[in-house]
Structure 1
Amino acid sequence: MTAAAPQAAAQQEGARRLRAGVIGLGWAGQQHLAAYAADPAVDLVALSAMEEHLLERFGEEHRVPGRYRDWRQMLAEAELDVVSIATPTFLHAEMAIAALEAGVHVLTEKPMAQTGEAAASMVEAARRAGRVLEVSFNHRRRGDVTALKTVIDSGVLGDIYYAKTGWIRRQGIPGLGTWFTKAESAGGGAMMDIGIHMLDMTLHLLGEPGVTAASAMTHAEFGPRGRGGSGFGVSQLEDGAPFEVEDLATAFLRLDGGATMLLESSWAQWIPEDLCYVTLYGADGGATIEWAGGPGNHRITVWTEVEGIPAELSPQVGEDRGHAGAIAEFLQAVRSGDVAAHDGSLALRRARVIDACYASAAAGAEVAVEG
């Protein structure tokens, strides 16, 4: 394939309807298929899942002709232009690479892969194939994040030198005894699952500074005792399925230019209600986004000075775009033909930071982040 071929192919794709497929029909996969089905320039032609009842239900609901238990068969037969991967983390790299090698553009759920090494193999495959590879970080498309990004880019806060961010659940370990809590399949616990959302959101707000080093610690106090599951009280752990990941992680990150970030994530903690936040400290102002008790309760506040008078601002917040926004941007990238700018590199940088956090926790020392 010549250097011009991928761009020419993508431009051709931009001029016609795109054929889309979805692998995995859990909650995230359902968000993807709904977004494709709602796009008038997309034909949702194939679904793949192990659960027959989900294939039948969503296939009938959205009139999808291709329904496959075997995702490889779907890639071979469905003549896809784009595919979303919403499966357990350990399957992302294998599925994405196979799709890219088949000439299909790929949008995968976060986290990108269990390790930075696996994520790097996905980026290499995208570059070889000349296809788009993106990762769905839906929380950066929230209305409050978009509003705060506008404030930051206007210069109101000045140079931002410190950020604190975290997602702490009162009780929310996903799937005790399932792939979520096994090291080999998930790659990690709370940091890998929800901490990566806050890492992505905060680096996005800060304008994508590089992360140079991490000093982290992990804890597992709830999961090993069967506590902290998505229900109430003590959950019954499955026989032979020990809790192998952390339920709380904290990290101190050094950023390019001398700024620093404190990142915390927890699936279960003795707190009154779930809390998710980003707080930024700038030379000319500060700002915070926070939701407590559920993602519908968003608050955004900015503190600064106006003509020397201390002022508190409440920026107007637009709609949350979530997964629909991530999928719209993915399709726009496919149609643009600019595959080099959408090869998964940004998500790979996130994976490298998470790798360094886990390495630091294991070593009990600060660890450099691989470039």
Structure 2
Amino acid sequence: MSTAHPPIRAGVVGLGWAGQQHMDAYATLPGVELVAIAGMEDGPRAELGEKYGVERRYSDWKDLVADGDLDVVSVAVPTFLHAPIAVGALEAGIHVLSEKPIARTAEEAQTMVDAAHRSGRVLEVAFNHRRRGDIEALKAAIDAGQIGRPYHARATWLRRAGIPALGSWFTNREMAGGGPLIDIGVHVLDYALHLFGEPQVTAVSAVTHAELGVRGRGGAKSDKQHVGSAYEVEDLASMLLRLEGGGSIVLETSWAAYRPAGDEFGITLYGTEGGADLRVVDYAPAGELTIFTGDGEETEDISVTADPGRGHLAVVETFLEHVADAGNWANWDGSLALDRARVIDAAYESARIGAEVRLSPATTGLEDTGPQETASTASTASTASTASKGA
């Protein structure tokens, strides 16, 4: 008699680039079967259904969840839909892997974590950049003691003209929650804190600027996901994070700024025994990674050649491993992504009030500030059933 477990049955909500990364992973990895997809766009839904051999195709995510028989679902849609879809799926007993950011605000993110607790199901967020080969190589060097204790870093993701699409949901504050800080900056925040070993963020001081997008500069005018929105978010943000134990991180991110052309992200780390610099230009599979070591005037710079890494494939694989480990589902409840959301909230609040915002020791909220304004999930969730999320 066979003791083989039946395959995990997966669904994907969202038909854009991000959703297709999840579809590719479910179609590639063993022990899982992609059985359902959902998205509003008729053409892409039919094309992707044919490509992956998926017969269950829905225009509304609610039908995908209601039809049942799913073990896991990936959520790859505009940010304002993350919370309602994730909560709905979790309450139906389905494990959830959401695209970043977890939600528009920490308040929304908390509803997702609470739903994971109530349902006893896994909730994770796809921070795929920490699964790049160069980031993993840098983390291995830090863990091996090559730079000692990291105490300061400058982490960036900067674009010359990279507003996703003028007039789209990306530039609508209520739908997106913010601009580049919450969109690509959350990746930078994640890999920086990951490299530091997940220290507590104790305070945030931030500024935001909206100089180019409001004048129609720095991005494409496209019909893709066009909602007719004015430019309501920042196009550049900078923040200083104070860390438990005395460390610090300066994080800078832009969708549009007068700087060298293209897309560049990375991190420069300073440690007690050495340092490191990683630069990735225009999404190169592997960036330029250098480790700086030495004692006094004796220096040694080591160039590290890293593998490309496995990105979303590794994220989905780890998610499925956690789902298969039924005894430890409570360990994977979305709390790490919720902490990222609290830092982003603090940054936007700091920029609003023009002062540093301190976070409580247990990252339970903001201290010594007025209430954070948050958009209503209910008002926006009704405006679309399932849209697709871009890169």
Q: TM-score range by the shorter chain?
A: over 0.9
1:107 counterpart SS class:
strand
Aligned match for 2:336, one of 339, 343, 346: 346
Unaligned runs of 5+ in 2: 364-391
Deviation at 1:19, TM superposition (A): 0.3
The TM-score, its normalising length taken from structure 2, stands at 0.87
Q: Which residue of 2 aligns with 1:112?
A: 102
Q: Does residue 320 of structure 2 align to residue 331 of structure 1?
A: yes
2:82 counterpart SS class:
helix
What is the CA–CA distance in structure 2 between the aligned matches of 1:58 and 1:82, rounded to whole Å? 19
CA deviation map 1:90-137 (0-9, x unaligned): 000000000000000000000100000000110011011110000001
Aligned match for 2:173, one of 171, 180, 183: 183
1:126 counterpart SS class:
helix
Q: Which residue of 2 aligns with 1:260?
A: 248
What is the CA–CA distance in structure 2 between the aligned matches of 1:319 and 1:71, rounded to whole Å? 33
Q: Which residue of 2 aligns with 1:167?
A: 157
Deviates more, 1:223-232 or 1:344-353: 223-232
Q: Which amino acid aligns with 1:259?
A: G
1:368 counterpart SS class:
strand
Q: Which residue of 1 aligns with 2:272?
A: 283
What is the CA–CA distance in structure 1 between the aligned matches of 2:339 and 2:214, rounded to whole Å? 31
**Per the alignment, do residues 109 and 117 of structure 1 end up closer, same or farther by CA in structure 2, a change over 3 Å counting?**
same
**Is the Cα–Cα contact under 8 Å of residues 169 and 229 in structure 2 kept in the other structure?**
no
Q: Does residue 281 of structure 2 align to residue 292 of structure 1?
A: yes
**Per the alignment, do residues 324 and 230 of structure 1 end up closer, same or farther by CA in structure 2, a change over 3 Å counting?**
farther
Q: How many residues align?
A: 354
**Per the alignment, do residues 196 and 28 of structure 1 end up closer, same or farther by CA in structure 2, a change over 3 Å counting?**
same
What is the CA–CA distance in structure 1 between the aligned matches of 2:147 and 2:227, rounded to whole Å? 52
Deviation at 1:309, TM superposition (A): 3.4
The TM-score, its normalising length taken from structure 1, stands at 0.92
What is the CA–CA distance in structure 2 between the aligned matches of 1:108 and 1:189, rounded to whole Å? 19
Q: Which amino acid aligns with 2:183?
A: D
Aligned match for 2:257, one of 269, 275, 290: 269
Matches within 5 A, 1:107-146: 107-146=97-136
Q: Does residue 317 of structure 2 align to residue 321 of structure 1?
A: no
1:175 counterpart SS class:
strand
Q: Does residue 20 of structure 2 align to residue 30 of structure 1?
A: yes
Q: Which residue of 2 aligns with 1:10?
A: none
Q: Does residue 205 of structure 2 align to residue 210 of structure 1?
A: no
What is the CA–CA distance in structure 2 between the aligned matches of 1:197 and 1:26, rounded to whole Å? 19
Aligned match for 1:248, one of 230, 236, 244: 236
**Per the alignment, do residues 51 and 40 of structure 1 end up closer, same or farther by CA in structure 2, a change over 3 Å counting?**
same
Deviation at 1:231, TM superposition (A): 7.1
CA deviation map 1:33-70 (0-9, x unaligned): 11101123111110000011111101011110210111
What is the CA–CA distance in structure 1 between the aligned matches of 2:42 and 2:282, rounded to whole Å? 35
CA deviation map 1:207-244 (0-9, x unaligned): 10111110000000111011000479xx9xx8962110
Deviation at 1:335, TM superposition (A): 0.7
CA deviation map 1:125-152 (0-9, x unaligned): 1011110000001111100000000000
What is the CA–CA distance in structure 2 between the aligned matches of 1:157 and 1:239, rounded to whole Å? 48
Q: Which amino acid aligns with 1:288?
A: D
1:87 counterpart SS class:
coil
**Is the Cα–Cα contact under 8 Å of residues 286 and 306 in structure 2 kept in the other structure?**
no
Q: Which amino acid aligns with 2:272?
A: A
**Per the alignment, do residues 260 and 66 of structure 1 end up closer, same or farther by CA in structure 2, a change over 3 Å counting?**
same
Q: Does residue 188 of structure 2 align to residue 198 of structure 1?
A: yes
Q: RMSD of aligned C-alpha atoms?
A: 1.8
Deviation at 1:292, TM superposition (A): 2.3
Aligned match for 1:60, one of 50, 68, 71: 50
Aligned match for 1:312, one of 301, 304, 307: 301
CA deviation map 1:259-279 (0-9, x unaligned): 011000000111113221201
What is the CA–CA distance in structure 2 between the aligned matches of 1:240 and 1:19, rounded to whole Å? 37
Q: Report the identity percentage.
A: 53
Higher relative helix content: 1
**Per the alignment, do residues 325 and 362 of structure 1 end up closer, same or farther by CA in structure 2, a change over 3 Å counting?**
same
What is the CA–CA distance in structure 2 between the aligned matches of 1:368 and 1:123, rounded to whole Å? 23
**Is the Cα–Cα contact under 8 Å of residues 46 and 78 in structure 1 kept in the other structure?**
no
1:111 counterpart SS class:
coil
Deviation at 1:290, TM superposition (A): 0.5
1:174 counterpart SS class:
strand
CA deviation map 1:270-324 (0-9, x unaligned): 1113221201100100001101244346100000027983111123412321111
Q: Which amino acid aligns with 1:352?
A: R
Matches within 5 A, 1:20-99: 20-99=10-89
